[in-house]
Amino acid sequence: MDFEALKKSSALHPKPAGLALQYGTAGFRARAEQLDHIMFRMGLLAVLRSKAVASTIGVVVTASHNPEEDNGVKLVDPLGEMLHPSWEEYATQLANAEEEELQSVVTEICQKAAVNQHRDASVFIGRDTRPSSEKLSQAVVDGISVLGGQYHDYGLVTTPQLHYLVCCCNTQGQYGRVTLEGYYEKLSKAFTELIKQAPGSGELQWHLKVDCANGIGALKLSEMKPYLPKEVLIHLYNDGTKEKLNHFCGADFVKVNQKAPRGLDLKPNERCCSFDGDADRIVYYYKDTSGQFHLIDGDKIATLISIFLKELLAKVGQSLALAVVQTAYANGSSTRYLQETLKVPVHCVKTGVKHLHHKAQEFDVGVYFEANGHGTVLFSKAAETKIRQLAKEEKDAEKREAAKVLENVIDLINQTVGDAVSDMLVVEAILALKGLTVQQWDAIYTDLPNRLLKVQVADRRAVGTADAERRAVSPAGLQQQIDALVQQRRLARAFVRPSGTEDVVRVYAEADTQEAADALAHDVALAVYHLAGGKGAPPQP
């Protein structure tokens, strides 16, 4: 390793004095002007990771649903999954090393992770549409190049597309062709096959309005349109030509504010959806005839997909285990519906996509979604092999047809990560096949009214949790207070958890009425403020 060249190159990407950042679930996120050294060093790390696992690694430059002035970076592991947790620590170490420590930190990572320095390294790079992304991805290239790594810069792509490309490359094309055309063809072919089975397909036109958050989703959905059947009319809004990324639009804005985005004219009973800034989350919504706004979030998307898969698996007649994975933020009504009505096992894990993904891998078919609209479906290798075999060889026509539908679902879903484009096509196919309107889908169950709050604290580590973040184990007495407050309301539930990124504690409460949910959230917030070292003025109702 040429440490002289590393030193020279690193001096061109200096670390701002006193800046310390942590690699979290979303990688690094900060103001764009603070990230040049981070990008350079993540180029270095990607080369080391690639040599350690003898595979291609991905680097995505994006800050997802954050404001346009921010940016960020995350690494993608060989099968399109998130970076291994032990390497998250190396990322943080490398990011925060002072100039003179860089050489020793790189050497230490090589020793600890048994990096074979004589291996070739290969890195795929992609970026979102932020004004800062092009220059920052050049810093990643500088980091890769100084350590002698090979790279392919895919330029503007959605985050899930880069995950797909990395997975295709490392499975020698088994997952799909390693090009964007390959991605569009794989998804559109599966989607077209699915909707052929829909009642009245061919003569039906169906319309969908898509808010692209003024981000990368607009560019890529436009590229994909020619691949889709002509009866599918997708209308793009907030396409990035006029307004700023994520500004009063996008999945996060719609979910948090429970209202339609700017720039999209919502007519009664029209089906609409919003992507986030890097197109890895999606939420649906509509306005009823009385003008009331209805949000259909990740929980309801997971429920629709689960209903569909459960019916198909029953038809196929194999004992394949289906399960749904949620976090504590999932609405209580969705959990109750899945467990009691649909009779599908539900597992709760800590917040963060990596925890959901990991748990979903334990089942033949694992559906996971966060309420914010990030999610996908995972099929075990054994389940996938069985389904593909039945689609080819099963003598019973009904079983064979059901297996074929499942096979197309496997090809349509992006199993590497939540993907707004893929999830949208899965939902559209299911609605078409089941002949459901958006209102009928929404009516499957009614969400319990809920409220999210955050409380400023001196130190977020004062709050410790257990049981997938559903119980507070510290400070002493907090959980007892929460239990007492919950007992006073009907169908109530509440929990608190420290933020992963700032000194705030997040409070979630739900109950049978909005008033009760609001009051419960406020009372729990006060308990956090008094017991966990609240900062500033106490929470106001």
Task: Kindly state whether residue 424 falls inside one of the protein's structural domains.
Answer: no
Please indicate, yes or no, if residue 539 is contained in any of the structural domains.
no
Instruction: Judge if 316 and 391 occupy the same domain.
Output: yes
Q: Which long-range contacts (CB under 8 A, 24 or more apart) does 111-116 make?
A: 113/48, 113/52, 113/86, 113/87, 114/52, 115/48, 115/51, 115/52, 116/51, 116/52, 116/54
* Per-residue model confidence (pLDDT) at position 352: 87
Per-residue pLDDT, 202? 62
User: Both 379 and 467 in a single domain?
Assistant: no
Q: Is 371 annotated as a binding residue?
A: yes
Q: Is 278 annotated as a binding residue?
A: yes
CATH classification of the domain holding 412: 3.40.120.10
| Total structural domains within the chain | 4
What is the pLDDT confidence band of residue 130, given thresholds at 50, 70 and 90? very high
Residue 540 forms part of a structural domain: no
Residues 68-92 have a mean pLDDT of: 96
Q: Is the pLDDT of residue 230 over 70?
A: yes
Residue 281 labelled as part of a binding site:
no
Residue 457 CB partners (closer than 8 Å, separation 6+): 463, 503, 504, 505, 528, 529, 532, 533, 534, 535
Whether residues 344 and 370 fall in one domain:
yes
Domain boundary among 156, 173, 195: 156
166 within domain boundaries = no
Check whether residue 256 and residue 187 sit in a common domain. Answer: yes
Asked if residue 268 belongs to a known ligand binding site, the reply is no
Residue 203 confidence class, pLDDT cut points 50, 70, 90: low
CA distance 252 to 496: 21
| Residue 372, in any domain of the structure | yes
Q: CATH number for the domain including 288?
A: 3.40.120
Q: Assess whether 204 and 341 both reside in one domain.
A: no
- With beta carbons less than 8 A apart as the criterion, state whether 370 and 353 touch: yes
Establish whether 420 is an annotated binding residue: no
Q: pLDDT by residue (tens digit) across 431-454?
A: 999 999 999 999 999 999 999 999
For residues 208 and 236, state if they share a domain.
yes
Residue 99: both structure tokens together: 């100039």
Question: Do the annotations mark residue 77 as ligand-binding?
Answer: no
Same domain assignment for residues 28 and 144: yes
Same domain assignment for residues 256 and 327:
no
Stretch 396-409: mean pLDDT, rounded? 96
**pLDDT, position 206:** 84
Retrieve residue 39's tokens: 């990008």
- How much is the pLDDT for 403? 97
Annotated binding residue 64: yes
Residue 316 has pLDDT above 80, yes or no: yes
The pLDDT of residue 2: 87
Strand 122-127: give its sheet, edge to edge: 28-31, 70-76, 56-61, 122-127, 150-156
| 404/513 same-domain check | no
In a domain, 428, yes or no: no
Q: Is 497 labelled a binding residue? A: yes
CATH number of the domain bearing residue 469: 3.30.310.50
Domain's final residue, options 139, 156, 173: 156
> Is there a single domain that holds both residue 454 and residue 393?
no
Residues 101-111, mean pLDDT to the nearest whole number: 96
Give percent above pLDDT 70 in the chain.
99
Residue in 9, 10, 50, 64 annotated catalytic: 64
- Same domain for 94 and 150, yes or no, is yes
- Residue 428 is assigned to a ligand binding site: no
Domain boundary among 251, 280, 296: 296
Q: Say if residue 533 carries a ligand binding annotation.
A: no
Residue 439 lies in a domain: no
Question: What percent of the chain clears pLDDT 90, i.e. is strictly above it?
Answer: 93
CA distance 151 to 141: 8
Q: State the SS3 of 310-339.
A: HHHHHHHCCCCCEEEEEECCCCHHHHHHHH
CA–CA dist 400, 406 (Å, integer): 10
User: What is the structure's pLDDT at 188?
Assistant: 98
In the annotation, is 86 catalytic? no
Reported as a single tens digit per residue, the pLDDT across 191-202 is: 999 999 888 766
Residue 24, pLDDT score: 84
506 among annotated binding-site residues: yes
Residue 120's pLDDT is 97
Q: Tell me the residue range of the domain where 486 lies.
A: 450-532
pLDDT in tens, 247-274: 999 999 999 888 999 999 999 999 999 9
Q: Do 307 and 292 lie in a common domain?
A: no
pTM of structure: 0.94
Would residue 443 count as lying in a domain? no
Over residues 303-329, mean pLDDT: 95
